[in-house]
């Protein structure tokens, strides 16, 4: 069996990181070649950069797929890559006409966006990351038989399959709240500043560290949000309690931040209209460490109930962070639960589940 994997890879994007990890795991199960969005990288034996998200039709991609002549065409779909639906749906239609079986991983499912059904419906072998996402598609009117669940992959940071311990407390502060990820409004940095303000009344030295990743394609939103964060820091008198490291950091830098912090927070709060069923890759990176993780109740964290504390109000955020500062949690249980979660949702297991879907694809 030959699999043609279409998506973005080796670029400053969470989906690109997902694609690379899954691609590596799939390569151990079946012959696979990646057909990637152009990003300035050079071709390798396994990766061919042959399309641009703004071009139509994608003739170079089509020719590359036909030359490869795969049994399965696997799309890693995100709406940022295919903002105009027909750029994507026409490809699916063409490849099906050519006799290829097409499987699509949908990283984002918007239940309240009926317009996106024109994208979702053309895909007859759909993969989503949670049962809740699958149910949302069924409620939208898609055929349940066409929808499969493969959880977002995970991995341990080392080959010993152990959770990484904390690093030396180089910051010299026991009250460090870390948030890492792209500067987007739905990630609720502005809301977290209110939480930090309340916590400051009890922990005068509290630090809120923002590792603010950026993508050149989203520069305007990044700049606008950064200014609002800076203005609010000043208004709340938090100038000496917030550290912003702006720019895309390497994996090793990110891990250093996580392992030297007291708690890692992901307070995402999407607008109800844009509520999305997805899966947070950042949360799964945090699980590789012994740093406690607190999330919101957003649907990006479905299935993580055993490995993360979920908060729904400012008061709950203040309480849960305070409990961690004061060591009011079971560290040994947290580590055991994380080890189990990472093992069950390994990239290898994800690849095996996809292989079964390939074998029964329509």
Q: Is residue 259 part of a domain?
A: yes
| Secondary structure class of 135 (helix, strand, coil) | helix
How do residues 153-167 score in pLDDT, each as one tens digit? 999 998 889 999 999
Q: Is residue 103 part of a domain?
A: yes
Same domain membership, residue 79 and residue 217: no
Work out the average pLDDT over 117-135: 97
Work out the average pLDDT over 48-52: 97
How do residues 77-113 score in pLDDT, each as one tens digit? 999 999 899 999 999 999 999 999 999 999 999 999 9
Q: Is residue 227 part of a domain?
A: yes
How do residues 269-289 score in pLDDT, each as one tens digit? 877 777 899 999 999 999 999
Same domain membership, residue 96 and residue 57: yes
Q: Is residue 133 part of a domain?
A: yes
Structure tokens belonging to residue 267: 């307070």
Of the pLDDT bands very low, low, confident and very high (cuts 50, 70, 90), residue 305 is: very high
| Secondary structure class of 339 (helix, strand, coil) | helix
Q: Is residue 159 part of a domain?
A: no
Contacts made by residues 329-332, CB under 8 angstroms, sequence distance 24+: 329/292, 331/290
pLDDT for residue 275: 83
pLDDT above 90 (res 243): yes
Rounded-to-integer distance, Cα 15 and Cα 9, Å: 8
pLDDT for residue 269: 87
Same domain membership, residue 239 and residue 125: no
Q: Tell me, what CATH number does 101's domain have? A: 3.40.50.2000
Of the pLDDT bands very low, low, confident and very high (cuts 50, 70, 90), residue 178 is: very high
| Secondary structure class of 29 (helix, strand, coil) | coil
How do residues 253-269 score in pLDDT, each as one tens digit? 999 999 999 999 999 98
Q: Quote the mean pLDDT of the chain.
A: 96
Same domain membership, residue 350 and residue 339: no
Give the total number of structural domains in the chain. Answer: 2
pLDDT above 90 (res 322): yes
pLDDT above 90 (res 217): no
Residue 95 CB coordination number (10 Å): 21
Work out the average pLDDT over 212-240: 94
Q: Is residue 351 part of a domain?
A: yes
Same domain membership, residue 62 and residue 209: no
Q: Is residue 169 part of a domain?
A: no
| Secondary structure class of 257 (helix, strand, coil) | helix
Strands, E assignment, 52-118 = 72-77, 101-106
Work out the average pLDDT over 146-154: 97
Of the pLDDT bands very low, low, confident and very high (cuts 50, 70, 90), residue 216 is: confident
Same domain membership, residue 181 and residue 148: no
Work out the average pLDDT over 25-53: 96
How do residues 65-86 score in pLDDT, each as one tens digit? 999 999 999 999 999 999 899 9
Dihedral pair phi/psi, residue 145, rounded to 5°: -65, -20
Rounded-to-integer distance, Cα 13 and Cα 8, Å: 8
Residue 325 sits in which domain range? 176-344
Same domain membership, residue 194 and residue 110: no
Structure tokens belonging to residue 15: 């989906």
Helix axes 85-97 and 59-68, enclosed angle (nearest 10): 30
Same domain membership, residue 243 and residue 258: yes
Q: What percent of the chain has pLDDT over 90?
A: 94
Of the pLDDT bands very low, low, confident and very high (cuts 50, 70, 90), residue 59 is: very high
Same domain membership, residue 73 and residue 113: yes
Structure tokens belonging to residue 250: 């390497």
Same domain membership, residue 335 and residue 188: yes
Same domain membership, residue 13 and residue 116: yes
pLDDT for residue 14: 87
Q: Is residue 317 part of a domain?
A: yes
Q: Which residue has the tokens 């931040």?
A: 257
Rounded-to-integer distance, Cα 96 and Cα 78, Å: 20
């Amino acid at each position: 069996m030959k699999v043609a994997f279409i998506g973005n890879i080796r670029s400053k994007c969470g989906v690109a990181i997902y694609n690379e990890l899954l691609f590596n795991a799939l390569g151990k199960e079946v012959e696979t070649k990646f057909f990637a969005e152009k990003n300035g990288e050079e071709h390798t034996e396994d990766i061919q950069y042959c399309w641009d998200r703004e071009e139509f039709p994608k003739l170079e991609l089509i020719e590359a797929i036909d030359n490869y002549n795969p049994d399965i065409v696997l799309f890693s779909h995100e709406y940022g890559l295919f903002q105009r639906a027909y750029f994507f749906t026409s490809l699916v239609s063409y490849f099906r006409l050519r006799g290829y079986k097409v499987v699509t991983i949908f990283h984002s499912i918007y239940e309240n966006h009926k317009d996106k059904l024109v994208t979702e419906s053309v895909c007859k072998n759909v993969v989503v990351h949670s049962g809740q996402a699958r149910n949302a598609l069924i409620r939208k009117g898609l055929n349940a038989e066409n929808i499969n669940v493969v959880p977002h992959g995970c991995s341990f940071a080392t080959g010993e399959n152990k959770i990484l311990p904390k690093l030396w407390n180089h910051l010299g502060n026991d009250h460090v709240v870390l948030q890492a990820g792209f500067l987007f409004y739905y990630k609720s940095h502005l809301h977290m500043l209110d939480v930090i303000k309340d916590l400051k009344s009890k922990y005068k030295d509290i630090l809120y560290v923002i590792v603010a990743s950026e993508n050149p394609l989203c520069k305007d939103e990044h700049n606008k949000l950064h200014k609002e964060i800076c203005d609010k820091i000043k208004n709340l008198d938090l100038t000496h309690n917030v550290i912003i490291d702006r720019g895309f950091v390497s994996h090793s830098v990110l891990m250093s931040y996580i392992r030297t912090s007291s708690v890692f927070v992901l307070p995402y709060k999407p607008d109800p209209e844009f509520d999305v069923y997805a899966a947070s890759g950042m949360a799964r990176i945090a699980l590789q460490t012994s740093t406690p993780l607190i999330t919101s109740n957003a649907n990006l964290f479905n299935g993580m109930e055993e490995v993360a504390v979920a908060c729904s109000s400012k008061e709950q955020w203040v309480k849960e962070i305070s409990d961690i500062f004061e060591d009011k949690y079971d560290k040994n249980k947290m580590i055991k639960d994380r080890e189990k979660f990472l093992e069950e949702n390994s990239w290898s297991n994800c690849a095996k589940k996809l292989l079964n879907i390939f074998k029964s694809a329509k």
